[in-house]
């Protein structure tokens, strides 16, 4: 049965509302009821016909950034058409609205700016923050808030101001979250980007970044507003800098459902890939010896997620799990002597190795040194150092384990630590691979039949929309580690490699919506089971409830009602 919506808007108001506009898809009855009969051409189009027209218009634009701006314009006009078009061309268009093209759009945000979207909270207007917040959200129900201070945009760094619309769009497109219940928020605390500060068209606050106590007061006031008005919402931290990302996540996790994709999303999808690889090798997580090359936000997020899963799933202590990891940054292996020199960040101190383990290395311990001594089962790269996993490193690893698990996760692809084809060749086809960017299948050495090996893509969008949707529908008070692990386990269970080791360790991205639904169900089931949910459901009810709450890009039938919805 077609859904019916009661709408209070008429005339230009409904045609200019992206939430309610149907364009040429308004039926004759709706055109009369809403006073738009003469505002539209005669022919009534189906949604499929509208998608074909929009796709044809999109194809005229050759450069990715022009496609990006066209799609943003379409979103400003008609949400259903925008998401329906994307869903029909998922693999082709997600890179246009998201990574990598969105980075270019954000870098040129001030020069491409046409229409505001979401909420801009600026440090200069600290005293009126609550009034500004309420002007945007009054009368609305919000399930998801995506906030950013734009300090660490992937690949381009500090961009000062640029609303987080792409992330919330992915939540809707792949996670099934109603776009009317999402709120992108820009927390403008200034910028240290000199090009922006001297740009006369820069639309943000032209001031150096606020730091320290002032920054914390600003963030805390925002968090108090979220907790006060939307206590059951999920707050997604996006593109925060290294000094703030972990700190803010840990500060607010105990009091609200908060999530950081750069840390937890990256960790969850990597965990799923690792669990799938462990399934192929028929080993436990806690049996792995893991080198993490690159101990920044992503590397630490992955390490912590894997460590917590070892504790939760295999039942070992945190201290024992920490011993399974060897973290390497620009100074080499993180060990006690580095910490004594102040060269180890506070967040990674629990993974520091004793100097006594390295009696023959008084100075820095290189990646190759660690591989030769540790004989790792797993090598994870988050370093942004192209080619760091050299032939010597990979061959040394292959000598120490039957099925080397190699995850060069740096992206874009030009920064990958090792090309998957090289890793396949240097391990004689034995490597289990996953990358942070899409790569073609690799050829197996000496395979006269031409069989290929699928390279899995550790794309966060395979998991974070489902993690978020599961937390939202269960109205969880906090996003627990066990909820994230449950989602990662469900994703790992869908691994094609469990049926054929030469297939991908993770599902193909074209299956992302269905995969994320399964992740969401697992997360909500865990929330219900452990008592962190805010709904009175049984675990057995979760799947049906989730089906009922998925938003789909379809036009409902409209009935004019002056008391109905108006945005």
Could you list the active site residues? 98, 167
Residue 265 tokens, joined? 């999303």
**Which residues have a Cβ under 8 Å from the Cβ of 362 and sit 6 or more positions away?**
none
- Binding site listing for (S)-malate: 411, 459
Nearest to 21 by CA among 561, 560, 555, 442: 555
- Binding site listing: 238-239, 262, 411, 459
- Binding site listing for a divalent metal cation: 238-239, 262
Please count the CA atoms within 13 angstroms of the CA of 287 that sit on its side-chain side.
Answer: 10
* Residue whose entry in the numeric block shows the structure tokens 């459902």: 257
Distances (CA, A) of 422 to 232, 379, 416, 492, 512: 47, 15, 12, 25, 28
Q: Return the beta strands (E) in 336-435 as ranges.
A: 378-381, 405-408, 432-435
Distances (CA, A) of 213 to 95, 217, 543, 549: 38, 6, 44, 41
Cα dihedral 355, 356, 357, 361 sign: positive
Q: For residues 328 and 491, give the distance between their C-alpha atoms in angstroms, rounded to a whole number.
A: 28
* Residue whose entry in the numeric block shows the structure tokens 């297939």: 503
Cα dihedral 172, 142, 164, 69 sign: positive
Q: For residues 116 and 113, give the distance between their C-alpha atoms in angstroms, rounded to a whole number.
A: 8
Nearest to 143 by CA among 118, 121, 168: 168
Q: For residues 52 and 434, give the distance between their C-alpha atoms in angstroms, rounded to a whole number.
A: 35
Give 171-184 as a 3 state SS string.
HHHHHCCCHHHEEE
């Amino acid at each position: 049965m077609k859904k019916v919506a009661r709408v209070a808007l008429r005339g230009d108001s409904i045609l200019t509302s992206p939430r309610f506009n149907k364009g040429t898809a308004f039926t004759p009855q709706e055109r009369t009821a809403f006073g738009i009969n003469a505002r539209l051409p005669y022919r009534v189009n189906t949604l499929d016909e509208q998608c074909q027209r929009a796709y044809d218009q999109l194809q005229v634009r050759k450069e990715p950034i022009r496609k990006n701006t066209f799609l943003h314009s379409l979103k400003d006009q008609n949400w259903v058409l925008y998401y329906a078009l994307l869903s029909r061309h998922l693999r082709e268009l997600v890179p246009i609205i998201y990574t990598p093209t969105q980075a270019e759009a954000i870098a040129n945000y001030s020069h491409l700016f046409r229409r505001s979207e979401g909420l801009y909270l600026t440090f200069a207007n600290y005293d009126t923050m609550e009034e500004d917040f309420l002007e945007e959200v009054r009368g609305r129900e919000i399930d998801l808030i995506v906030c950013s201070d734009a300090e660490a945009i992937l690949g381009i760094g500090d961009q000062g101001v640029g609303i987080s619309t792409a992330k919330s769009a992915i939540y809707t497109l792949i996670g099934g979250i109603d776009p009317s219940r999402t709120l992108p928020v820009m927390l403008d605390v200034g910028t240290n980007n000199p090009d922006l500060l001297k740009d006369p068209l820069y639309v943000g606050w032209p001031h150096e970044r606020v730091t320290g106590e002032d920054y914390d007061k600003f963030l805390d006031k925002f968090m108090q507003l979220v907790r006060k008005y939307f206590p059951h919402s999920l707050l997604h931290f996006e593109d925060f800098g290294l000094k703030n990302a972990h700190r803010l996540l840990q500060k607010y996790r105990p009091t609200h459902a908060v999530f950081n994709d750069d840390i937890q999303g990256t960790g969850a999808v990597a965990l799923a890939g690792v669990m799938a690889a462990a399934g192929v090798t028929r080993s436990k997580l806690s049996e792995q010896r893991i080198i993490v090359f690159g101990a920044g936000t992503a590397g630490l997020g992955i390490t912590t997620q894997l460590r917590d899963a070892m504790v939760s799933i295999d039942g070992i202590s945190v201290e024992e799990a920490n011993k399974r990891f060897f973290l390497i940054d620009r100074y080499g292996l993180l060990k006690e002597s580095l910490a004594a020199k102040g060269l180890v960040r506070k967040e990674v101190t629990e993974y520091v190795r004793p100097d006594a383990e390295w009696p023959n290395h008084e100075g820095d311990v290189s990646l190759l040194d660690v591989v030769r001594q540790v004989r790792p089962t797993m090598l994870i790269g988050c370093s942004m150092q192209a080619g760091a996993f050299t032939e010597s490193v990979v061959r040394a690893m292959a000598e120490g384990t039957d099925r080397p698990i190699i995850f060069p996760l740096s992206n874009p692809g030009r920064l990958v630590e090792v090309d998957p084809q090289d890793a396949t060749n240097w391990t004689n086809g034995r490597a289990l691979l996953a990358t942070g960017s899409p790569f073609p299948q690799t050829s197996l050495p000496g395979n006269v039949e031409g069989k290929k090996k699928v390279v899995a893509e550790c794309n966060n969008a395979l998991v974070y929309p489902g993690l978020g949707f599961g937390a939202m529908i269960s109205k969880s008070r906090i996003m627990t580690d066990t909820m994230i692990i449950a989602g990662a386990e469900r994703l790992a269970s869908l691994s094609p490699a469990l049926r054929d080791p030469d297939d991908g360790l993770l599902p193909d991205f074209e299956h992302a919506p269905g995969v994320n639904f399964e992740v969401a169900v697992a997360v909500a089931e865990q929330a219900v089971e452990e008592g962190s949910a805010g709904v009175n459901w049984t675990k057995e009810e979760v799947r049906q409830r989730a089906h009922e709450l998925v938003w789909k890009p379809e036009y409902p039938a409209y009935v004019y009602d002056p008391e109905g919805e108006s945005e």
